[in-house]
Each structure stands twice: as structure tokens, then as C-alpha cells.
Chain A
């Protein structure tokens, strides 16, 4: 530590600090253009000049380290003069088009010119007058307004690691933009837009449509994926204009992905349901809440009156903790049913269930900070950038800056595979076997290994093309590294043996000694914003709120005492049992909160037919969906931009949603709908406003109290950034001591070798494996209604291997016929080296009936949790002549 004086104020700072950081500690704001806390200092804008009192020298505070006794002046006459000249130089050629510039009013260049009075110009020269680059649908590049601070290029390189834009030319002729004079082709995260201190990069979707000071900002949490991004939803007259972020704030530290930043327009489209609808004869007709609630209540009473477990509920994992808590309460208390399930059943449950069983918690063992400390990172069946964008950013940072060794296990290449130390390609179907072999190798002693171990390992190398050398390197690295993290994702969670494979990984972490070691563990990526929270709230038949076994009488008693009433639900079940129950006639009613089971099954399946047997089908949604065709009632739901409440992030943070606009039309939240129904049925909930429910949840489950990272953030007087204070509020991660206890008892089952996982048998026939994957530009299906995101990716395409295409003489954008005995579809192709030769990849969001028709009609429930995981099917591929 060294002592320095900033404007006479003594502060003690780390000897490696820069002057800028010392000033920040002293509470002194120094203006900056090119400085950015998440990037290496560039020291290029020269606006952060300060004077050293002793030598009278002017130095740049962002790149100059402190020295003992240094006396720093941040606002001396010399400094003011330097800044004034700097601004004068910038403003000589910068166009004075502030009145028509989207940045006007929130422009650091404008603010700083105001602060330092560089308004009069001593020289008339040309104003930059290049034409704007309007080629991109998303961003406009105006090189005239650019002051070449380079933050956009650096954030694209250093934080996003995408390298889509760069400096072109040198000297005064330098401009910034995409290469080769082409249209911008990138991940469209918009981070460059966010960090641009002028109007050089602007948002094309809302160009000329707002003035920043007229926008009302609401801080809220994005619910698309589980990264838990903190964002500012900016509205004007109840309409969302744009989404921005505050540098350093939240787990996302100011970055937001394409979906979060640009994907909000669909919630304010005319397609939104604005009224409740009731089926009258064969038509859905608009009605009023006052009539529809009693009507539904009456029909529920009729069905539920015949006994417990007669009505089922389905819950979208995008709703808040509060809504999920109310829905499960409504289901168990009012409907007396334990037939409750959520979208987690389509995959994530395969990770959640074994983890909760082994560790007793769904709070993650590791968070993004642990990724930065990990020496080895194993990513298996996941595309972190697409599935949990911020996890992807931290992973990239861990590799680039912290030199973590990342092993990527999967058949396909995703954006991060190029950065892997080893990309271990496992042909589709071998992932479960891989997890078992790896776990058996690490957990088992040579003598006690399963007798089939060597044969299975050989099978992995021979039948699934795993490179033995890469595999051996991984084994060695896992064994020897002091710290490590395993990231699992959508593909891994959706393989048929996923729950067993996850169990294998748990066993392996236990054997590696990772359970005891802080910073080590598994980080499963949820598919949707609140997968974790919805499960924690018991919106699943297995668990009551708090992950308590729903069939355990002791647990039942606990909640009976809390709710002050007896619970008389039955055994219940998940999606499988619900569909079987409806088919057998045991279940007569289904209320779906934002879920549409139809899209998750093949049109050849009997699901539609099964649902038609219902006496009561209620669909609560933002839009009309294929489920609406069968629904008796269609109720409008408020979107996540209109709600309050909390959601749980991939890292375990419990963060708040704040309404940025009032409810669309007459829509209501799921919680309000069930509260009204409960009241109408004569069993009113004691707590019903979101605030009251939050309080109840946090009182009963104090570990779920709100938490976040980087909560504080503030701006200096000249619009410059002051470093956010790092706050890591209540523990968001699993408590290791408790986990160790639970794991020790679970580990009893792992002492002897566990049964090998069989390679997956993929349905269908043909040389190709057709797989559905997650896109960077869509989240679920709702975003297909978003005009902005549709500009980034507008239709389904199939990614095929370059070599395969060459063999079959298929060119880019040509249509191919994909076929098996179940069905066929025609799609345009995109060529890549990123998938194995016999693999076809299609973004799952565009899962039209003909695409889903490639899957067998017979429903295949897999694993311990009876999940439905439409992931892949075998097909033939033909060029259309």
C-alpha cells in the first residue's frame, strides 16, 4: 500500500493502482472517454490528464501507476487547459448535429464540452462528412461522430471476444466498422452501442424516435435466459423504446445479449392478448374478467369436487418466484392436486433432480467468479454463449485473461469451441457413455471398476470417435488441477440418459474432492430465466416449496402449519402422468400458465387428441398459440416487462423484476389470476399482492432473500464512469458444509461401480442425425414474434458439414429435403465445419409441425424424471434438384 494525495486528500491505495483508481477511492471523479473498467486501459483519449504537483508534469491517470507520496491535482489550471484543448481538437471536425443525434442529451462529449467550456473554436475547418453505414439492420455506424476512443472495438475483442468490428486505416483517417465494407455480421450483443460515448454507433430500430431525457428508466431483470442480467428498460408514454445497461451493474456487469437488448417489441405488438376469451360453441369470444373468473371457478369446483388430483397445472419457467409460489399453492391447496409441472421437464429437470437429490439444494456450487479462478473447465453438451450469455462471457474471460484450460465435449462446434484446449468430439448419442466412462475412470479404483469399463471406454473411442489422447489429457488435467468447474447445458440435459449422466458427473466431482473445495463444482445452465426459481417454489410434483419431498408426511405437515389448512392432494405427477391421467379420464382439467405442451411433441403424437378429452383447458398466455385452439378459456397474461417479483439466476442470485409499463390491456399476472380464482372459490389466500408474497417467501425461506452482484453504480458529474463497487450480497451459492453432509450420504451409493450408461438409441432411420439447437437470437418461441430479433434470424435453416455438402454437391442457401419414416421437411442450408459430418442442426425455435414431424409419434419418456427431450432423430438428406 502507498499513500497518495488527490487534490490534497490523503488516500491509501494498492501500490499497483493507477492514479484513476486512487482518485476514485478518494471520491474524486476524473473524466474519461477511452477508459472502461472491464478492459485493459488504452490510454488513448488523453482526457483523463492530471497534473503531478511536484514535477508539474501532466500524465494520464488511467495508465499511470501511483507512487508513494504522489501529489495529484485533477482540476488544476494546467489540467483544465489540456482538457479544453483536447475537446477543441475533437470538436473541430465532429459534426454539430446534436439536435438530430440520438446520443444528444446523454453524450459524454457534449457533457464534457459543457463542463470545460470548449465551446468557441479558434479555427474553421471541414466537418467530417462521410456517409453513414446503414447496411446493418441493427446498428448504424456514423464515423463522423466517432472520437476513436476504441471502446467499441475493444469490448468486441476483450469482453465479447467476437472481433466483429475493427479500426480501419490509420491516423486521422481511421474509421470503425465491420470488415470488408460488409454488413455487420455478429452476435448483435449491442455492447458497442452501449459503450459508445457519442452518436457514432446508434440503434437502428429506434433511430430518431426518442430523446434520451424524455425516457423513463426502470431497472429490472431479464428473464429470457438465467444469466440474470440487470437492465434498464426505457419507456416513453408506457411504450418500451430501448433497453440499456449500466456499466458494471449486476452479474452481467453491463453486457446484455441480443435477445435481452433488442427483443422487447413483441410484448407491445397488436398480437398481444388484451382481453380474456371464453369458448362459446366452437369460437373463442372476448369476455370480461368478472364473468370469466366465476365461470372457470365453477367448472373447477365441479371437477375438483370429485376428489384430489383431478386437475393439473403447467407452469412456464419464465414466471416469477411469487407467481410460481401462488400457482403451486393454488394447485395443492385449492385444486387439491399434485399434478403440477413446468417447462423444466423438457430437459433441465434431468440436471436439477440428481443435483438436488445429491446436494439437497439447487443453489449452484459455483458461480461466474469461480469460473475466473478455475484452472480447468469442462464444458459438456452446452453452448454457454447462446444458453446463458453471461456465463459465456465469463468463460471467455476465464480462458483469455485467466488462462483457464477449457475442454469442450460435444459433437458440434459452438462459438467457444475454438478457444478450447481440446475439443473432444463425441458423435451424437455417446455423451452419456462419455460421462459414465469419465466418472468411472476418475472415481473407481483400477481393481474395483465396473467389469465392462474397458470395453465401454473402447466403445467410446471406436464407435463415438472420441480422441483417446484428448480424453487422456482431460482425465489427467481433472485429476491434477487444483480448481475446476464443469458446465453442463441444454444438449447434455436433453440426452435420454441425462439424469444418470448427471449422477455420474456428481460422483466424479465427489471423487475429485471438489465437494469440499471452494470454487469447484458443477454449473448446470438452466434453459429459461427462472427454471431454478420455479423448481425451488415447488412448481413440480416432486417438491413442495423449499425442495421438500411432496409425498413425505413430515414435509406436508410443515406447510400445513404455515398455510393453516390440511393438504389433501394425492400422489400427482409430472407431464407424463398428467397426459396419462387425461387419457385415462382421471384428470379432467388442465390450466397452463404460459406453457404449450403441443410444441414439444411430434404432430404424429396423440397429445392433441389427449388434450381434447379435457373438460376444462385454460391457457394463460401473452399470445394466441396452438393450445388456444383447444382451450376453453384463453386468459391474457402480463409480460415480464410489466410484472414485479423475483427470479433466480444461474448463479443463484435472487433478483427483482420491476414493472416498466402497466399491464397490457386487461392482462393480469398468473399469481393474480389464481388469487382471483381462489377467492372466488371461497378459499382466499392470505397473501396475494406480489409484495406480500415476496415477504412470505423470504420469511419462510430466508436464504432466498434478494441478492445480486455489483449492486451499486453511480456516475460522475461529467458523465464519466466511476467504478462500480463490488458487492456480493447474501450467499447465493450452495452452502458447502450442508452439501458435504448430503453428498456423503449420497456417496454411499457410489462406492461400488455404477451401472454403465448405454449409448443412446436415436429414433428414426437414415445416415444423418438431425438435432435441434438453441439460437443466439431467439429464446423459446415467443421471440419469433419479435420484429427486431427476426431481422437477425428470420427463419429456420439447417447447418450441415462443409465436407458433406461438397460430397452431395449442395451449395449455401440451397434447399434440401430431410426425411425419415415419420415425416419430411425442406430447409435451406448453411455450411459450416462446426458440426460432424453426419449431423444436421436446426434452431429449435422454428419447430414448425413439419420439422417436429421428423420425430416419432410415440412419446418417449426418459430417465429418472420421465422427461420429454425432443433433441434428435435420424434422417436422410437429399439435395432438391
Chain B
């Protein structure tokens, strides 16, 4: 037995931490921050660090390891000085990502989870870096690179080969600003971050001033309800109703901003956080005031180090100016916001997984009921809202719910940030009033399909949505209409696919993504994603049989019916809708063993890009079995 765990005492062999554990609500909440900190030292976590973290968090080493191995950004294998994470998800993969990965792998001479012999680079996969309009992208340590080509790679890599790399000195927004007209999100047009002074100059924190000085929490909720605003993470659940559901409880409550934007093709929240961070902060304070919370969390994905730096700065600005802290703006309302960093797990975008992760646990979704609005963080009522939803609150309070409602159509009021990516002339972020047609968005705003290609299909909400076809181009973009067309508008991450796309290949990579990101808790999703992936793997490698279609359908429908959370329920969307709409293409794969688009390898030993399976063996080199049971 680990006798130290029993006593709760600290060892004399303290590792010099700046001790992030001190500031968290409960000791175990420090586990992710401590693991991040350990990672920052050597790009992997050593055994004595696991034990040290266990002691600091009152968890057992088994608990710490269970948590650590759940998240992609933590590694327990010795690693190189720099970790390269190429985005291995659509749309990056479809936009040259495969070629880039092959070239990267060749230039370094290593595959996934391997380290170069000089100990300089380790290659690890990334599942969507949220740079979809400017892909293919990759991340080296905490630096993000856009539009990377095999040709530009050597220069990028050489920066890290020098002894004193000076990279990413100032936090600034990554990539191009929002395109086109804006109504609500004007600040996103700026190439730079709207910092405190600039934000104030444009009327920032006036909504908060208005709410605190002249509106009751109920009045705030009423205004939001009037606006018709719904959850912009994709569920479109009435924000007003959610706020009321939390407000009705007594006692401690929380507001959590879901900044774990992980849906392939989605990058809108990053734009808000990097260009207009105070709109999120002000929105969170308003939500906190409305529900009666005194603490808010921003749960930010690890793939957004730039957002992290910008938000950290913005939060400290807000604290300095008295927008956060005790008695905000002379009112009796006190509120603070803490940043909590995820560690590479798409599932944590699901609100109950997010809450578990925020409590310092494996990010497994919870069974519902109870709802998070009743039993959330630490068992307390919690308002989990998407970043975009929260950023909408200040303008709604300032200009009124009526104003916001008038922006959209009858079915869905307001506007929505659309992320356009894939085979489109002008990829990027757009603010679109609900009710605009899909055709207008793609053909007019997005400039249509480039290179003289034809539109083949559209994914309106990344990997979670069923395909839309060119025949759907005239549907109105609001939540009910897209649902009526058999798909799902979700977070409006529109991935456009032209006729060079193989729809089986698309299904294959989307199933690889689901497989990689399934938390593994429930059988339908854990085994279902595995089997869908394996079936597709056989099909794209020329091993398909027609009988597999039925199996795929039955596994898919079982997943949709019985999975715990949205991941399992939506994972079959792309493969099943692709099979439904493009059956001929699929038949060609399994009957003639020909990929009509010429994309799939179609031979058993065809290039697999990388092995999807993670290693269950984690024993670091050099540790002999049986030794080191104790740190002494």
C-alpha cells in the first residue's frame, strides 16, 4: 500500500511546483493543471510526478493515471523537446492534410507517437485544431501554423532546431478576421484583440452597468428570453429557459463557458475569445448575475493556447477594472471567473463530460436526468453555455431582446456565426442572420466552389451532422428547416465538399475521428465506433463486402438509440447518410473494389497514414518491473 496516501502527508522529496493546487475549489480539481504543469517540463509525465500529483490532489496514483491517460495532451512516454501535432481531421485532411502529414512523417523519419533519434521532435495527432478555414494546420508545442505545405515545413522545423527559438512572442489572434457584414459581432472584423480600453470605448461593459444598476436578475432573464436566443453550441435550447432553470435553485451555483470547441470544422468561439474576449467575460458576468452565481469557469480546450493567453490577460484586466471581484461596479454582486484548461478530448464539449473534467476527473458524460442545470459542478446547479451564446448577451441586454429577435427569421431569431471550410472559394467566419438560404451562404458569401469543381455535398455541423446535398441548397438556414431536410444545423460548421471527394473516404475519416474521441464509457459508442471504423477500414482497403452495409446500418442505429451522449448518437451520421445518398459509390468500393474518386487506397496493405490505436503499454523506458513501487 502507498502508506503516504493513507496519511495524507507530503513527502520530503517535494518537487518544486508553483503549486497550482492551492487555488482550486477542491484538491482534486488541481489534477489537470498539475498534469499540464508536469507536461510543460519535459513533454511527458514521469512516475514520481504522478505520485507527487496524487499526494497533492488526495487522489491515488491509479486515479491520476486514469485521468491523465484519458486526455490526448498528456503523455507518460518519454518525448522529444518539441511536440508536433498535425491536424488529422477533416476538413484539414481533405485540404492537403494527408499530403502534409506524409511529408512531415518522411522529413522527420518518424510516425505517430514516435520521437526523432536526436530527441528533438515527437509526433502526436491532433483532432481538429480549430483552424479549419486556413488548413492544413499544425501545432508545435504551443505555436500554431496555418496553410502549411510540405514545402514550407523545412523552414518551420528549422526554427525549432536552433538552440534559442523565439516563437510566438505576443498573444494575438490567429488567422484572418471575420469576413463580410457583421451585426452583433462587429469586433471580430478587427485584426487585433479588442483589449479593455478599446472594448470600453466601443461601449463595452455598458450592458453590465445597465443590468447591475437598473435590472433585476429576473429582468435580465426576461430580456434574454424575449430575444429568443438559443444555445449556439448547436442544441439551440432556449438560453432564457436554461438560466431560469439554474436561477430557481438556492445556494451555490455556477456559470461555465463551454470553450471546448472541438467539432471538426468549427472555429467560431476561438474568434470570439481571441478578438473580443471581453464580450465573453461580460456575457458570463451577466449570466452569473442572472442565475445568482458567484463563480464562473471558462473551460478552454488545450488546442487553443493563443486563446488561453488572451483570456488570461483579459480576465486580469477585468479584475483590475473592478468588473470581476467583490461588489462589481458598486453593486452588491460579486463574481469571479477562472480559466480551466482541457487536455485534448472532444467529448468534453458535451456539457456533463465538461463538468466531470472540470472536477478533475475523466471526461465521461453523465446519464441524464439529473440535468446539469439541477446537478452540475460539485453537484450544484450549473449553467453551461457556449462561448458564442454568452457573447450574445451584452448586445441583447444593451439593445434589447426585441432588437435581437428581429435579426433572424420566424423559426430561429438572431444571427449565427457560420464557419465555412472545405472546398469553398472564401473559407472563413461569417455572421449570418438565421433564415438566409444555404445557397446564399455557399455561393454568394463563400464565393462558391473553386477550381471549376462541382458541389457534391455539405456537412452543416461538422462530424455530427448528416450530409446535405446540392438539392438542399435552397433550404432556409434555421434550426427547424435544416432538421426538416434530414440534417442538423448544430454549431453551423459548414464543411463544403466538391466532386473530388470520395464519400466513403469521408465516412472513413469521420469514423476514425469518432473512434478516437469516444470516451469508451458505453458499449454502443465504444464498440460501435470501433466496428464502424473497422468496417470502413476494410472497405477503403478493398476488403469490403456488400453485407457490411446492413451491419453498418444496424450498428449505427443501435448507437443512435442507446448511447449515453450525443457523441455516440451522432457518430453514425456521416457514414450512414453517406451510405444512403451515395450508395453507388459505396457499391463500387465493395463490388468492384474501385474508388471512383481515386482517393481510397483499395489495397489491403495500402497506406494507412497512421495507426489509430493508442498503446495501452505505457511503462516508460528504463523502469524495471517491480522496482520503484515506492518513491523511496
Q: Does B33 contact A (CB under 8 A)?
A: no
A180 touches B564 (CB 8 A): no
Given contacts A43-B564, A125-B534, A148-B526, contact A833 B367 (CB under 8 A): no
Given contacts A86-B524, A143-B616, A185-B629, contact A168 B69 (CB under 8 A): yes
A46 vs B562: C-alpha distance when bound (angstroms): 7
Q: How many A residues touch the partner, as a band? A: 35 or more
Residues of A within 8 A of B628 (CB): 182
Residues of B within 8 A of A41 (CB): 367
A122 vs B630: C-alpha distance when bound (angstroms): 48
Nearest CB on A from B611, distance (A): 11
Which of B5-13, B102-110, B130-138 is found at the contact surface with chain A?
Answer: B5-13
Interface set, chain B 506-550, CB cutoff 8 A to A: 515-524, 526-531, 534-535, 547-548, 550
Residues of A within 8 A of B524 (CB): 46, 85-86, 89
Residues of B within 8 A of A162 (CB): 60
Residues of B within 8 A of A174 (CB): 520, 526
Q: Does B402 contact A (CB under 8 A)?
A: no
A143 vs B618: C-alpha distance when bound (angstroms): 15
A44 vs B519: C-alpha distance when bound (angstroms): 11
Which of A47, A163, A181 interacts with B59 by CB under 8 Å?
Answer: A163
A90 touches B523 (CB 8 A): yes
Q: Does A97 contact B (CB under 8 A)?
A: no
Nearest CB on B from A657, distance (A): 31
Nearest CB on A from B581, distance (A): 23
B515 touches A147 (CB 8 A): no
Interface set, chain B 1-43, CB cutoff 8 A to A: 1-9, 11-12
Residues of B within 8 A of A754 (CB): none
Q: Does A812 contact B (CB under 8 A)?
A: yes
Q: Does B183 contact A (CB under 8 A)?
A: no
B12 touches A89 (CB 8 A): no
Which of B63, B520, B528 interacts with A170 by CB under 8 Å?
Answer: B520
Residues of A within 8 A of B59 (CB): 163
B69 touches A169 (CB 8 A): yes
A834 vs B515: C-alpha distance when bound (angstroms): 45
Q: Which residue of the partner chain B has the closest CB to A121?
A: B551
Known contacts A86-B558, A166-B60, then 7 further A-B pairs from the complex at CB < 8 Å, ordered by chain A residue: A47-B523, A82-B561, A89-B527, A123-B534, A169-B70, A171-B516, A413-B7
B561 touches A58 (CB 8 A): yes
Q: Which residue of the partner chain A has the closest CB to B63?
A: A163
Which of A221-229, A414-422, A590-598 is found at the contact surface with chain B?
Answer: A414-422
A130 touches B520 (CB 8 A): no
Residues of B within 8 A of A153 (CB): 66
Nearest CB on B from A55, distance (A): 12
A171 touches B515 (CB 8 A): yes
Interface set of A (CB-CB < 8 Å, partner B): 41-47, 49, 58, 60, 63, 65, 82, 85-86, 89-90, 92-93, 122-123, 125-126, 130, 135, 143, 147-148, 150, 153, 157, 162-175, 178-183, 185-187, 413-415, 417-418, 776, 799, 802-803, 806, 811-812, 830-834
A171 touches B626 (CB 8 A): no
| 4 nearest A-B residue pairs (beta carbon) | A166-B66, A163-B60, A833-B9, A181-B619
Nearest CB on A from B421, distance (A): 25
Q: Which residue of the partner chain B has the closest CB to A167?
A: B66
Q: How many B residues touch the partner, as a band? A: 35 or more
A167 touches B362 (CB 8 A): yes
Nearest CB on B from A139, distance (A): 14
Given contacts A164-B62, A185-B629, contact A169 B616 (CB under 8 A): yes
Nearest CB on B from A78, distance (A): 9
B629 touches A82 (CB 8 A): no
User: Which of the listed residues A43, A46, A170 has the most CB atoms from chain B within 10 Å of its own CB?
Assistant: A170
Q: Does B187 contact A (CB under 8 A)?
A: no
A347 vs B65: C-alpha distance when bound (angstroms): 43
Q: Does B632 contact A (CB under 8 A)?
A: yes
Residues of B within 8 A of A834 (CB): 3, 6-7
B518 touches A171 (CB 8 A): yes
Given contacts A168-B618, A831-B630, contact A173 B520 (CB under 8 A): yes
Given contacts A60-B367, A171-B520, contact A414 B6 (CB under 8 A): yes
A418 touches B7 (CB 8 A): yes
A803 vs B551: C-alpha distance when bound (angstroms): 63
Residues of A within 8 A of B548 (CB): 123
B550 touches A172 (CB 8 A): no
Which of B9, B62, B519, B630 interacts with A171 by CB under 8 Å?
Answer: B519
A45 vs B367: C-alpha distance when bound (angstroms): 12
Given contacts A180-B50, A812-B630, contact A89 B555 (CB under 8 A): yes
A766 vs B522: C-alpha distance when bound (angstroms): 60
Given contacts A418-B58, A802-B12, contact A125 B632 (CB under 8 A): no
Residues of B within 8 A of A180 (CB): 47, 50, 61, 65, 618-619
Q: Which residue of the partner chain B has the closest CB to A184?
A: B62
A811 touches B6 (CB 8 A): no
A157 vs B62: C-alpha distance when bound (angstroms): 10
